[in-house]
Amino acid sequence: MNKRITQLFLCFILSVAFKEVVAQQDAQYSQYMFNSLVINPAYAGYKESLNLSLLHRNQWTDVPGAPTTQSFIADAVVADGKIGLGLSVVNDKLGIQNQFSAFANASYRLKVGAESVLAFGLGLGGAQFGINYNKANVDQPETNINAGRSSSVVPDARFGIHYSNEKFYAGISTTNLFAKAIDYSTATQDLVVSQGRHFFLTVGYLLDVSDFLKFKPSFLLREDVKGPTNLDVNNFFLLGEKIWLGASYRTSLNLWNKPGVVGNVSPSNAVVGLVEFYAGSSFRIGYAYDYSLSKFNGYDKGSHEFSLGFVLGGGKKNLTILSPRYF
């Protein structure tokens, strides 16, 4: 294995040897704009139909122990569209770590004017964090490294606000609300799980270029306080109400001095190409490819992300690609 990659995973193994692990943080997605419930519970019921979505992500292809992520979401509206209900499940694996989380989400949706909706969402659930020590690969085994598996289950919550009309949307949300309230040191004897609180800001707008072509710029600002702020700038084109073609630029910003961040952190720049295709009125398939522009470039073969979406049943919106399904 390449020397730099070996050093990367050696740092992780050393943290296990000292019996203190800072767990992997929230999973990263490139198609979050089609999978928004995993970052904002206020998105529950947004499509006003039964919405199902599956996603699989392979990050840093060909790098041993690189992250892999699977997610499943389901949401719908009840009470004449005033209440959104949703389920979000994520399985995230990094090296010998594994994180499985499930949240029940609910949103209260208020009509603002003729076409706008302001939603407040709350997600309640929990996560199971695990380490498989048997998969640790070290040249000189340490006696402090346990054999077998260790796991812990902790409760968690998330909150969000989402505003939308036919042309514009904006959302703000936070995850890991219990991060400061739980004594993680008692989770298990050998595993200390410490999740950082994350904040998300999303904004997007739809511009009609012609009857055939629509343009949708958007951005995602992600903040975890303990590291650089992450920014995604996205540009999408919708062709003939059937195909989304887009590109994103992801970078890191050092907006202010943060305690706990040691030294200068190199920006994790990347470019992303995305395509989403609607096969009929109720089925969507998507693909995204990430190409790293950071110092990690050359040690991996990019990241691949696949998604499937289904819209089932009726609802106020019919099953053609009408607003608010643009978002």
Q: pLDDT tens across 159-188, in order? A: 999 999 989 999 999 998 886 655 555 544
Tokens of 240: 């003939």
What pLDDT score does 136 carry? 63
Residue 54 is part of a domain; what is its CATH number?
2.40.160.40
- Mapped onto helix, strand or coil, the DSSP state of residue 76 is strand
18 inside domain = yes
Domain extent for 240: 3-312
35 inside domain = yes
Query: Is the separation of the CB atoms in 85 and 103 below 8 Å?
Result: no
Question: Which amino acid is present at 91?
Answer: N
320 inside domain = no
323 inside domain = no
Dihedral-angle region of residue 185 (phi above 0 means left; psi in -120 to 50 means alpha; beta otherwise):
alpha
128 inside domain = yes
What pLDDT score does 5 carry? 39
Query: Is the separation of the CB atoms in 64 and 5 below 8 Å?
Result: yes
Tokens of 298: 């050359």
Q: How many domains does the chain have?
A: 1
327 inside domain = no
- Mapped onto helix, strand or coil, the DSSP state of residue 225 is coil
pLDDT less than 50: residues of the chain = 1-24, 187-190, 192, 315-324
- Mapped onto helix, strand or coil, the DSSP state of residue 20 is coil
Taking the mean position of all CA atoms in its chain, how far away is CA 309?
Answer: 16
What pLDDT score does 105 carry? 98
325 inside domain = no
Query: Is the separation of the CB atoms in 110 and 116 below 8 Å?
Result: no
What pLDDT score does 145 carry? 55
CA gap 255, 156 in Å, rounded: 28
Tokens of 216: 């949708």
**Element at 322 (helix H, strand E):** none
